[in-house]
Each structure stands twice: as structure tokens, then as C-alpha cells.
Structure 1
């Protein structure tokens, strides 16, 4: 089978296409014939060596994917031929989804709803599950998402045109929240509107505090934050008492100045979201909820859902990584099979 691999960390040029034998699933494992491999920022950061040492001498990148089960190990409640999505394929393992067949633990696989595309299956992992976690850890808020679960609550999504921001908008809207998002320009505003945001604010030209307070006089219940170093002072002005700032990335810097008195007076909660160490039960609940949203028409990919798709071939895995690293707007997918 064909596989994209790297044997040292570095820029995208370390990725090459090779022929290798497919693995065999052991107890509790499943092998999937990969159709789509999703590329996320975490994938190029791991490849670049920004997240520690390599998991093995040869690594196949990419955490997320979708395809068809073609072999199962002992004790696995899946069937050959099942159409599935894959999450965290390369976490603490050297075998990601940028290959024609991948072996993963069965708990990192979910069955796609009938009619769901492999494209949307490859977007569930890092983007949608990160968004789900950000929306389900607030005080007084739901631990699960479903229609009406966030009714009466206001969610502010920073960076609504990104993959996680897009997922947060869609899932919050599906769950009944009033959704506000901030973007940097008209093109991204169109994408955030397509995703379902009720109110889209250009932070470069609009008074975000005034506009958010106009929509939600008491402030937002949850802020889904991608750039805390830049936005924390603003977030604290937009958060309602006992609200939650859910931080899932460090765009714009690693350090956040925090004024204690003005912060604790709001009873603000800071929820850090790092998908790899989310408790297994919460991870499975997230998968189940996102699958329900897909089946219900509440979560999708493509222009009509505010997330353009950018397709690359398996031979173009390095180029796909570069696209994400360079800030491509939309979801980067590798077409491993037709």
C-alpha cells in the first residue's frame, strides 16, 4: 500500500511517499481503508517537531480521517464494510491516516450516519470534538449537546471562519444557542454566516464590546477562544458573571497577562481544551453528539456550511501540510482513495 511518511522532523519536505505493508489489527483494534485524511494544524506542528520527539523512526502523519473498515481484531463491535470516521489515529502511535490502510484502536473510530460523506467524517476529530468540549464544560451548562441543550445561552466564537470556530458555530446553533462570532473581513464573515452564526462582527471595523452587549446585555455564557494572548482583556469585558472562556489554541502568543482582581470578581472560569487528554468518556460522548448532529443536518462541511474544502492527492501530502501551515481558509483534505 502507499503511505506518506517522515523519518525526521522538519518542514514539509521531510514527507515522502513510500510503499509499505499494511498492518494487521490486534485485539481491540480495527483496520480502515482510508478514503479521506484530514489535515489540522496539530499535524504539521507534530511533523515540525513542535510537540516533542517522534513516536517512532518512521511516522505516518494526520490524526483524522474517514473510510471503510476492512479488518477487525478480537473483541471489536464493528463489521467489515462499515463506513467510519477516525479520530486521534496518530496519538502516541506512528500510524496516522495519510496512508491507504491504517490500524487504530476501535475506540477512536465511529460509524458514519447513513448518507454522510467521507469529507464530513474526516472533519469530526480535531475540529468538531474540540468545539464540543469547549461548549460542554461551562458552569450550569450541558455536558452533552442536542437540540435545545444550549437554549437561552449565548456563545461567542472568536475566529468563526477557522475549522474549530466553524464547528463551534454549527454545534452551538444546532444546540439552540444564540451565536455571535468575530472575523477579520468580509470573506470570512460570509463563511461564518453560512455556518449559522446569528451575529457576525468584524473586529477590525466594529466595536465588538458594544455589539456583543447589545445582543447579550449580561454578556456571553461561553467564549470559544483561539487567540487568548490577544483577546483575553476583551473576553473579560464580554463574559457574563460565572461565564467560561474555553481556550483551545495559542494563536498570537504563549503568554497571557492576567489581572487577578478584575478577573476573579467575575467568577470567570478558564477551561483549557486539549483534545488528546480529554477523558475517554467525554471524548466518546462528543463523538456520539457530533454524529447525531450530522444525522440531523446540524453539522456539515463545504461552502454551504461555511467551510470550503481544499482537496489534495496522497502524493501531495507535503503540499497539504504547507497549505494548513500557511493559514488556508477551509478544510484541507487528502483524497487517499476515490
Structure 2
């Protein structure tokens, strides 16, 4: 099989195309014939060595992907050969990322793709949608699961609504019945956020974004999905209502956050930090189930019309795909594998 692999961390040039044997699944595992691999910031950061050293002699990159179950090991009761599936955390503590024609994964990291959903949708779930689900379900007074009506009557502020996680948060929050406000940095990104379903879009580079958000939500927002806490901490403290949660999933804009105690104390604000890899099995399983349900309902899509433009690369150009994500490509970067 064709596989993109690397044996040392570093720049994208460490990635190279190779021929490798087709792997066989053990007990509790399935083999996935990969159709499309999704690329996220976590993938280039892991490859570069920015988050950890390489724990294997050789590994294939990329956490997310979609394809067809090709073989099933013993003790896998819920998946069968021929099932169309999406995967998340394919490369977490394993050398089995999705930038290869076949990959073997634990069955609990593989989820059925609803009928009618494309492999592009499946490869765009994973990290963005699971992270967004977690961010939307950590509020003190909010739901622990998402479904139609779960966020009815609540207002969600999504920082950076044109990013992949921001887009997923908008689509999932709208599916769950929330009123969604999002902040963006340009008119072009505003159009993408509206296409994702945001009812209110605020360009934070124009006017007074706090006043604009407070005009939309006079009593404050119930939940913030935050991508840039270093830049937005002061704004968040001024727009949340009592017992609101600020769910932080990234460190765009800086690693250090300064919090003013009094404004956050007055509102009993909760700052919740999120990393998919340490969420725990229960939260991951709940996210996979709810995200799959949203896809089945037609509430989650990709492409320009859903606010998530697609940029595609061939498998042999995986290094270029990583470079595009690192350079801040707007939308979703996908690799055509199969």
C-alpha cells in the first residue's frame, strides 16, 4: 500500500511517500480503507515535534479520515466489512494515522457514517466536531449531550466562526437550538460564518464588539467557544451572563492569559480548558454519537455553501497539505487517499 510516513519530527519535508505492507487487525480492531484524510493544526504540530517527540520508529500522520471498513478483527461486534465510517484520533498514541491507503484502528475510534454523507464530511468531523461538542457541553447550567432543542433559549458566542472548530460549533449549536453570535476578522469570513448558520456576526476589528454583542444579548451570553483567550479574555468577561462558561480550545494569539478577578467573580464565570486527547472515554463516545446524529439530520455539512471551503491535495502532496494548514488556510484541508 502507499503510505506517507515520517521517522523523525521536524518540518514538513520529513514526510515522504513509501510502500508498506497492508496491516492486519488484531482483537478489537478494524482495518479502514481510507478514502479521504483530514488535516488539522494538531497534525502539523505533532509532526513538527511541537507537542511531543515521535514515540515510534515510523508513523503515518493525521488524526481524522473517512473510508470503508476493509477487515474486522475478533471481538468487534458493531462494525462489519463494507461499513462506511469516519474516524477520530487515528494517530493518538499510535503510528496509524490516516495519510495511508489502509490503517488499523481500535474499533472505538471508528464510527459509522450516516447514509448520504460524503467521505469529505466524514474526514472533516473528528478533531473539529468533537472539540466543538465538548465546548458546547461543559456549561454549569447547560446540557451534557447535544440534540435538537438541547440549547434552546441559550445564546452561544463562537470566537473565530470561520475556523474549522468555529464552523463546527456554529453548525452543532444551531442544530441544538441555540442563538449563535460569532466574531470574525473580515467581511469574507463573515460570509462563511453566516453560511455555517450564525444568526449574528460581529467583525471585531470594527467599532465596539462588546457593545455589538451586548446589543444582541443584553443579559449576556450563556457560553463562549474561545479560540484566542489571550486576546479575548477581557471581552469575554464583559459579555457573559452569570454562571456562563468560557470553553477554551486553542491558544491563538498567545500562550499566557491575564484574567481580571473581579469581573469573572461577579458573574461566577467558569473557564473550561479543552483538549480532545484528555477528554476521557465517556465524553469522546458522547461526542461521536451526537455528531453522527447531527450529520444524519443533515445539520452538518462542508463546502463553501456550509461555510467551510475545501482545499484538496493528493496523497503524495501531504507535506503541502500540512504547510497549507500551518499557513492558516481558511476552511478544511483534505487529502484524497483512495
TM category, shorter? over 0.9
> Distance in 1 between the 2:249 and 2:213 partners?
21
> Distance in 1 between the 2:75 and 2:142 partners?
36
Structure 2: state its 5+ residue gaps. none
Of 262-271 and 245-254, more deviation after overlay is shown by 262-271
What is the deviation of 1:206? 3.0
- Residue 317 of structure 1: SS of its match in structure 2? helix
> Distance in 2 between the 1:206 and 1:148 partners?
33
> Distance in 2 between the 1:319 and 1:142 partners?
40
Corresponding position of 1:154: 155
What is the deviation of 1:324? 0.1
Corresponding position of 1:211: 212
What is the deviation of 1:102? 0.3
1:70 aligns to 2:70 (yes or no): yes
Corresponding position of 1:120: 121
Query: Is the CA contact 2:196–2:307 (under 8 Å) kept in the aligned structure 1?
Result: yes
1:16 aligns to 2:28 (yes or no): no
What is the deviation of 1:85? 0.3
Of 318-327 and 270-279, more deviation after overlay is shown by 270-279
1:261 aligns to 2:272 (yes or no): no
Q: Flag as ranges the 4+ runs of structure 1 deviating above 4 A.
A: none
Instruction: State the Cα deviation string for residues 44-86 of structure 1 (Å, max 9, x = none).
Output: 0000000111020111000000000000111112100000001
1:171 aligns to 2:172 (yes or no): yes
- Residue 135 of structure 2: SS of its match in structure 1? helix
Corresponding position of 1:134: 135
TM-score (norm 1): 0.99
What RMSD over aligned residues (CA atoms) do the two structures have, in Å?
Answer: 0.7
What is the deviation of 1:295? 1.0
TM-score (norm 2): 0.99
Corresponding position of 1:279: 280
What is the deviation of 1:173? 0.6
Structure 1: state its 5+ residue gaps. none
Corresponding position of 1:106: 107
What is the deviation of 1:109? 0.5
Count how many residue pairs are aligned between Structure 1 and Structure 2.
337
Corresponding position of 1:91: 92
